[in-house]
Amino acid sequence: MTVTVAAAERLIRIGEVARGAGVSVRAVRYYEQQGLLIAERSPSGQRLYRQDAIPLVRFFQQMFAAGLTSRRITELLPCWDAGHTDAEQRAMLRAERERIQAKIDDLQAALDHLDKVIAITDTHP
Amino acid sequence: MTVTVAAAERLIRIGEVARGAGVSVRAVRYYEQQGLLIAERSPSGQRLYRQDAIPLVRFFQQMFAAGLTSRRITELLPCWDAGHTDAEQRAMLRAERERIQAKIDDLQAALDHLDKVIAITDTHP
DNA sequence: CTTGCCTCTGACGCTAGCGTCAGGTTTTAG
DNA sequence: CTAAAACCTGACGCTAGCGTCAGAGGCAAG
């Protein structure tokens, strides 16, 4: 008979989070300052994170790349954490979705434009 | 018998350029400061533009949206103006192309991520 | 013990594309 | 002629996500 015990999760320090997610230590501190990432503290004051902080930071990077501000991300975090959403949050999700789609379209148009020029300059050196 | 005369192009002032391209007057001045857009000057010192300045400014906007800096755009302008390109410029064109494509891919991934969350929060209110 | 790496809290710096205000000239409409 | 609208040159401000430096404490290894 086996008994499963809730294993005390190994907490990691800020450097490990930063390396794991491919960002700077400064960036991780900044995320905390913006309310994106809450850390426990060791008795001596060092930040301690759960391991899922690493994918979370990666996720922040993805959203930043998509043009969301840290403020928007904090407002949308409950949609992930709890699965709980109100009408306002769903509207924000859709609005950001549309923004991103529009941005993709703009980028695609710019890409097409550049490709034309590349084609011309290649056949016409 | 009809004689075609090279019609003296009607020059426009900065306000018309700005309205035509959907940007601010300040932006147009900024482009000049960055070396993107050269303007003639009237005797009193006002900037005078040819009408193709409007599509040019639109193009700048498109490139800005694609993440190119004004510096890069100035370096690539000869590719449009003269059709003349050297190897370095062609390499820059390709590099920018790759950057934009990578950015599109990132945005698409973020969009897919958001769509998943939207689907969850919709079926699971 | 001390060497060396990691972490801490401020706090200022940076970039890029403008916004905006100040104070003055020019052009245009009536 | 005159008032409004448009234009000019500085020059400082703003945002957002960090970089970077300063000065000080924490922590495992030899």
Could B100 and A114 be called an inter-chain contact, meaning their C-beta atoms sit closer than 8 Å? Answer: yes
Q: Report d(CA A69, CA A71) in Å as an integer.
A: 5
Q: Residues A45, A83: contact at Cβ < 8 Å?
A: no
Look at the pTM and tell me if it is higher than 0.85: yes
pLDDT tens, position by position, A37-50: 999 999 999 999 99
Residue B120 token pair: 């969850």
Say how many Å lie between the first and final Cα of chain B, rounded.
77
Could B111 and A101 be called an inter-chain contact, meaning their C-beta atoms sit closer than 8 Å? Answer: yes
- B116 Cβ under 8 Å from any chain A Cβ: no
Buried/exposed code over A104-119 (b: 16+ C-beta within 10 A; e: otherwise)? beebeebbeebeebbe
A68-CA/C23-C1' distance, Å? 40
pLDDT tens, position by position, B28-65: 999 999 999 999 999 999 999 999 999 999 999 999 99
